[in-house]
Amino acid sequence: MASVRPAAIAGMFYPGSGAALARDVDALLAGAQSDAAAATRRAPKAIIAPHAGFIYSGPIAARIYALIAPARACIRRVVLLGPTHRVAIHGMALPGVDAFATPLGTVTVDTGAVDALMQLSFVGVSAEAHRLEHALEVQLPFLQTVIDDFTLVPLAVGRASAQQVADAIDLLWGGDETLIVVSSDLSHYLPYAEAQATDRATAQAIIGLRTDITHHQACGATPVSGLNLLARRHGLTPRLIDLRNSGDTAGDPSRVVGYAAIAYDAPAPDGTSAH
């Protein structure tokens, strides 16, 4: 019998019923503003998306997921990485389950990818690290909505190096069928104006492909830095799609959390820029 990691944050970070969740995700995507050229671009190879409750970060996440929708029939695998918030781990952890569930249904874990990753010394299994972790789960309703059918490679990132993250992602890089998603928020609990300045500098560092992002700048600093190592290697071009904080959406402006939506475009098949 297949083992399933049940939804842990349904009813808290997002609606607990499938119908309400579908309505909310559809509304967020419908309200997402994308640039005029988006329809003519290939979908990004990789993205960074925030992971707070939908009322806070959903509008920012929707901006980046709207760019994925045109490739909904092409993408077949999502490599999803995010930091651990509740359980400290060394290296990176797979969940040891066959599928992840949300109120929108279940997503099958890619067993072939799991087997390949388990050959790496810094990748292990920790059901506990995944059991209540929101960073990965909060991305799933968007992914389930903008992609027709896909398998999942869920990696919780703990005390690991950027190079280890890069090695794990590169093992599964693939082609247009594989989407890389890094889940990360930016600054935490700064006053609104200070957060704006801090997050603006962090966003510029990320799109400048810096690989020394700190955890004070982004809770997902390690997977972000690892992705940037690979972006350099594979010639990806990052674009800042949105940069806001909880004070812009639904939070107290005296103590905000920062959110960025960043797309990484692959070179066009002829080797030219995808822009």
Q: Are 51 and 57 in contact (CB under 8 A)?
A: yes
Q: Please give the domain boundaries of the chain with CATH numbers for all domains.
A: 45-265 (3.40.830.10)
Copy the structure tokens of residue 74: 């092409």
Assign 253 a pLDDT band (cuts: 50, 70, 90): very high
Q: What is the pLDDT of residues 203-235, one digit of tens each?
A: 999 999 999 999 999 999 999 999 999 999 999
Higher pLDDT, 171 or 40: 171
Window from 56-60, 84-88, 199-203, 271-275 with minimum mean pLDDT: 271-275
Q: Are 248 and 193 in contact (CB under 8 A)?
A: no
Q: Which of 252, 272, 220 is nearest to 50 (CA)?
A: 220
Residues 45-52, mean pLDDT to the nearest whole number: 98
With 0-12 CB in 10 A as exposed, 13-18 as middle and 19+ as buried, what is 149? exposed
Q: What is the pLDDT of residues 129-170, one digit of tens each?
A: 999 999 999 999 999 999 999 999 999 999 999 999 999 999
In single-letter form, the type of residue at position 214 comes to: T
Higher pLDDT, 203 or 40: 203
Residues 96-103, mean pLDDT to the nearest whole number: 98
Q: pTM value? A: 0.95
Residue 2: what pLDDT?
A: 82
Residue 268: what pLDDT?
A: 80
